[in-house]
């Protein structure tokens, strides 16, 4: 009985197996094809499986069923902190984080001035990174992770904590990449950001794809999911405007 | 053998080659780790530096601690075992330093993957990279500790066959390989079952007292042979012998080589089977 209740309330994604271990099915039946130049926005409620899907795309999780075929270099910005040493300075961390991206220190040292300039952190780069605010960390992490244009760029929700000026700068850089036929996959709760940056959307719900297609349609579906009773905002604005 | 599917949305025809076997993926992982040697050597060096950031002596703090331990234990236990300090102190010094190397890798090996959980869950890197980093870090620590050995051997000289010092090379290589397979196996098991690290730490501690490091093998008299069957003794003995001018125990090399072969096979099989699950376990 308890098993049946657990299964129904979590849409069959959470269950206990014979050895009484809890299993979580974070994603099911996700089949997508992303091509050059695509900027895909991943939307969904908390726990829908967005970060899990990003991790699968980044190669961190190997699918337990099915296959992932990715052609090109992958740069994943899932977490600002990874590879950063809190006691080291901004400059030292540029080299360090570059190493985790597979860039040899000697090569990274050549790119360091350009990265430093992009962060606009000035003399703060001489301070240990643990003194940075969240926004400063994001500037640093983004600048390092995008210093070499990747073929596939995967980003999680933290980008929205950046200030407006930084977001504009980041958008321009990403647009440059994508024009050079790179792929972007971005997960975000900010529908405005997704609409501005992406051309395609995927709506995840309880680990399944609920909607996939042009970004405007998917965002509309997402809004309907959040608030089924609300009318579409767009027609109202058109009437006013 | 190709799998052909047509993408529903984009209409693209995708031809995917047959997936490589688990063993092939594991072997690729091991090789990719070796190829990234610049990364794990730099990280290991940084690990050692960070441990002593801000201190005056730096990594030689470890050396000082070891020297104090050896000095303290040496005098007391030499008296207890009725051995000459001139014989006991070199034996203890060399034995202890190599024991700390081997046992250190075993105990630390449990945390190989759990310790870098953040990296594993964010960036795709070969898992073997974390193993190589751990072994290299322990080699660096050994190098720092080893400074004591020439000093002690100069104070209490023993006749040494200098040609035998070349035995240290295969010895160290074999033990580094031991470190690799043990860290892989224990690291994965510890990631899945979190009570393994303290168990291993306790077992290693107990085995220390059962291994002839603090006490000379001869103290066991006619029963000395079963202490020599201890694989950890074999590991230390192989390195210790050349430096003390003592013959290596009869079966030490055989035991070490056999355990290395079987250990590597077991670790590889386990790694191949469960490599893809490590990211979920940590």
Minimal Cα–Cα distance from B133 to chain A, Å? Answer: 13
**Interface touch B122/A32, C-beta < 8 Å:** no
Minimal Cα–Cα distance from A172 to chain B, Å? Answer: 25
Higher pLDDT, A7 or A163: A163
Helix axes A134-145 and A164-179, enclosed angle (nearest 10): 10
Angle at B37 between CA B61 and CA A72, to 5 degrees: 135
- Look at residues A27, A13, A59, A50 and name the one whose alpha carbon lies nearest to residue A218: A50
DSSP letters of chain B? -EEEEE-TTT--EEEEEPPPPHHHHHHHHHHHHHHTHHHHHHHHHHHHHHHTTT-SSTTHHHHHHHHHHHHHHHHHHHHHTT--HHHHHHHHHHHHHHHHHHHHHHHHHTTTTGGGHHHHTTS---HHHHHHHHHHHHHHHHHHHTTHHHHHHHHS-----GGGGGGHHHHHHHHHHHHHHHHHHHHHHHHH-TTHHHHHHHHHHHHHHHSTTSS-GGGGGGGHHHHHT-HHHHHHHHHHHHHHT-PPPTTHHHHHHHHHHHHHHHHHHHHHHHGGGHHHH-
**Interface touch A82/B123, C-beta < 8 Å:** yes
Higher pLDDT, B24 or A238: B24
Q: What is the mean pLDDT of residues A187-210?
A: 89
Q: What is the mean pLDDT of residues B188-206?
A: 95
A231 band by pLDDT with thresholds 50, 70 and 90: low
- Residue A238: per-residue pLDDT: 40
- Residue B205: per-residue pLDDT: 94
Q: What are phi and psi of B47, to 5 degrees?
A: -55, -45
Q: What is the mean pLDDT of residues A177-193?
A: 83
User: Residue B39 is nearest to which of A31, A78, A99, comparing CB atoms?
Assistant: A99
User: Residue A60 is nearest to which of B3, B43, B279, comparing CB atoms?
Assistant: B279
Higher pLDDT, B23 or B9: B23
A241 pLDDT exceeds 50?
A: no
- Residue B1: per-residue pLDDT: 45
Q: What percentage of chain B carries pLDDT values higher than 90?
A: 47
Cβ A221 vs Cβ A195: under 8 Å: no
CB of B272 within 8 Å of a chain A CB? The answer is no
User: Residue B280 is nearest to which of A61, A67, A76, comparing CB atoms?
Assistant: A61
Q: Say if strands B13-17 and B2-6 run parallel, antiparallel, or are unpaired.
A: antiparallel
Chain A residues with beta carbon closer than 8 angstroms to that of B12: 33, 35
A121 pLDDT exceeds 80?
A: yes
Minimal Cα–Cα distance from A227 to chain B, Å? Answer: 27
**Interface touch B118/A62, C-beta < 8 Å:** no
Note which residues in 79-138 of chain B have CB less than 8 A from chain A: 118-125
- Residue A235: per-residue pLDDT: 46
- Look at residues A144, A142, A136 and name the one whose alpha carbon lies nearest to residue A163: A136
Minimal Cα–Cα distance from A99 to chain B, Å? Answer: 6
Q: What is the mean pLDDT of residues B270-276?
A: 94
- Residue A29: per-residue pLDDT: 86
Mean pLDDT value across chain B = 88
Angle at A124 between CA A121 and CA A126, to 5 degrees: 125
Q: Which residue of B has its CA nearest to A214?
A: B9
Calpha distance B145→B129 (Å, rounded)? 24
**Interface touch B12/A33, C-beta < 8 Å:** yes
**Interface touch B125/A78, C-beta < 8 Å:** no
Q: What is the pLDDT of residues B129-152, one digit of tens each?
A: 999 999 999 999 999 889 888 988
Q: What is the mean pLDDT of residues B238-263?
A: 88
- Residue B143: per-residue pLDDT: 92
The region of weakest confidence among B115-119, B146-150, B157-161 is B157-161
Tally Cβ neighbours within 10 Å of residue A172.
Answer: 9
CB of B14 within 8 Å of a chain A CB? The answer is yes
Q: What is the mean pLDDT of residues B163-168?
A: 84
Chain B residues with beta carbon closer than 8 angstroms to that of A151: none
B279 pLDDT exceeds 90?
A: yes
Q: Highest mean pLDDT: which of B104-108, B166-170, B218-222, B235-239?
A: B104-108
Assign A85 to helix, strand or coil: coil
- Residue B103: per-residue pLDDT: 94
User: Residue B53 is nearest to which of A58, A81, A87, comparing CB atoms?
Assistant: A87
Q: What is the pLDDT of residues B50-69, one digit of tens each?
A: 777 777 777 788 788 888 98
B273 band by pLDDT with thresholds 50, 70 and 90: very high
Note which residues in 170-189 of chain B have CB less than 8 A from chain A: none
A181 band by pLDDT with thresholds 50, 70 and 90: low
The stretches of A63-213 forming alpha helices (DSSP H) are 90-100, 105-119, 134-145, 164-179, 191-197
Calpha distance B17→A89 (Å, rounded)? 45
- Residue B82: per-residue pLDDT: 82
Q: Which residues of B11-22 are buried (b: 16+ CB within 10 A; e: fewer)?
A: eeeeeeeeeeee
């Amino acid at each position: 009985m308890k098993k049946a209740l657990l299964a129904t309330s979590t849409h069959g994604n959470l269950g206990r197996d014979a050895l009484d271990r809890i299993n979580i099915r974070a994603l099911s039946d996700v089949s997508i094809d992303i091509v050059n130049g695509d900027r895909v926005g991943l939307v969904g409620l908390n726990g829908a499986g967005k970060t899990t899907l990003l991790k699968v795309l980044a190669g961190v999780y190997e699918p337990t069923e099915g296959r992932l075929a990715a052609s090109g270099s992958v740069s994943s910005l899932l977490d600002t902190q990874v590879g950063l040493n809190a006691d080291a300075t901004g400059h030292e961390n540029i080299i360090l984080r570059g190493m985790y991206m597979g860039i040899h220190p000697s090569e990274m040292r050549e790119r360091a001035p350009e990265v430093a300039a992009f962060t606009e952190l000035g003399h703060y780069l001489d301070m240990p990174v643990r003194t940075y605010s969240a926004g400063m960390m994001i500037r640093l992490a983004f600048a390092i992770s995008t210093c070499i244009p990747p073929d596939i760029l995967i980003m999680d929700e933290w980008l929205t904590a950046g200030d407006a000026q930084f977001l504009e700068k980041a958008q321009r850089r990403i647009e440059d990449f994508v024009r050079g036929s790179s792929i972007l996959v971005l997960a975000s709760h900010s529908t405005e950001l997704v609409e501005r940056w992406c051309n395609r959307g995927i709506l995840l719900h309880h680990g399944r794809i609920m909607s996939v297609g042009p970004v405007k349609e998917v965002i509309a579906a997402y809004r309907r999911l959040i608030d089924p009773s609300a009318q579409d905002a767009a027609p109202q604005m058109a009437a006013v405007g | 053998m190709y799998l052909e599917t047509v993408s529903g949305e984009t209409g693209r025809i995708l031809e995917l080659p047959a997936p490589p076997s688990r063993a092939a993926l594991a072997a690729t992982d091991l090789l990719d780790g070796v190829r990234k040697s610049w990364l794990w050597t730099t990280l290991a060096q940084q690990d050692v530096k960070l441990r002593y950031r801000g201190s005056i002596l730096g990594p030689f703090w470890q050396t000082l601690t070891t020297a104090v331990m050896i000095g303290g234990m040496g005098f007391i236990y030499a008296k207890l075992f009725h051995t000459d300090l001139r014989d006991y102190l070199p034996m203890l010094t060399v034995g202890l330093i190599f024991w700390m190397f081997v046992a250190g890798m075993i105990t630390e090996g449990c945390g190989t993957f759990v310790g870098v959980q953040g990296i594993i869950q964010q960036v795709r890197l070969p898992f073997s990279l974390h193993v190589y980093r751990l072994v290299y870090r322990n080699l660096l620590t050994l190098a720092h500790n080893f400074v004591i050995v020439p000093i002690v051997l100069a104070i209490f000289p023993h006749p040494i066959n200098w040609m035998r010092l070349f035995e240290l090379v295969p010895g160290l290589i074999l033990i580094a390989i031991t470190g690799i397979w043990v860290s892989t196996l224990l690291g994965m098991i510890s990631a899945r079952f979190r009570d393994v690290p303290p168990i291993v730490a306790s077992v290693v501690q107990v085995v220390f007292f059962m291994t002839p490091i603090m006490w000379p093998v001869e103290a066991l008299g006619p029963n000395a042979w079963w202490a020599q069957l201890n694989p950890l003794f074999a590991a230390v003995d192989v390195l210790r012998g050349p430096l003390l001018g003592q013959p290596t125990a009869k079966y030490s090399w055989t035991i070490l080589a056999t355990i290395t072969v079987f250990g590597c096979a077991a670790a590889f099989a386990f790694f191949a089977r469960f490599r893809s699950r490590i990211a979920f376990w940590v």
